[in-house]
Structure 1
Amino acid sequence: MNVLAEWTELVCRELGIDPAKVDRDALLDLTKEVAHGVTRPAAPLTAYLLGLAQGAGSAGEDAVERLTALARDWENKAGSDS
């Protein structure tokens, strides 16, 4: 088992989360897109906000995909707002 898988298992166990319900690759892709497309500090913040929304039941099943798309399009959106 690699370090990332071990860490994920440990954190899930600590937080009482079923690791089978964690799409690690999608979350890592989201944070990569946010870090590179928006700003690096926004990546962990986005992951945290997503977790809060999922815990509250307001995230929706496609939340990761929508946020990833927003991050990929951030430069286009940010440039059009000025």
Structure 2
Amino acid sequence: MNVLEEWTAQVCRELGIDPARVDRAAVLDLTRDVAHGVARPAAPLTAYLVGLAQGAGTAPPDVVERLSRMAKEWAEATADKPGDS
């Protein structure tokens, strides 16, 4: 078991979460997309907000894919254009 798996298992035990329900790859992909497309501090905040929405039952089924797409679109929309200062 690597450090990430061990940490995830320990946190799941502490929070009473079934580790089988955790899609670690999806969360890591989402935070990567947000960190690179928006800003690094937005990555953990976004993951936290997804967790809140999941817990409240308000997150759409495709929440991770939607937010990853939004982050990529954000990056494209805010990229410096040639000639911009």
TM value normalised by structure 2: 0.88
The C-alpha deviation readout for 1:4-47, integer Å capped at 9, x for no partner, is 00000000110011110110000000000100110000000000
Is 1:15 paired with 2:19? Answer: no
- Count of aligned pairs between the two proteins: 79
Following superposition, which runs of at least 4 residues in structure 1 exceed 4 angstroms of deviation? Answer: none
Matching residue of 1:6? 6
Letter of the 2:67 partner, please give it.
L
* Distance (Å, rounded) in 2 between the aligned partners of 1:78 and 1:52: 27
* Distance (Å, rounded) in 1 between the aligned partners of 2:41 and 2:23: 21
Matching residue of 1:26? 26
Matching residue of 2:36? 36
* Distance (Å, rounded) in 2 between the aligned partners of 1:78 and 1:21: 35
TM value normalised by structure 1: 0.91
Q: Which runs of 5+ in 2 are unaligned?
A: 80-85
Q: CA deviation at 1:76?
A: 2.6
Q: Which runs of 5+ in 1 are unaligned?
A: none
Matching residue of 1:52? 52
Letter of the 2:13 partner, please give it.
R
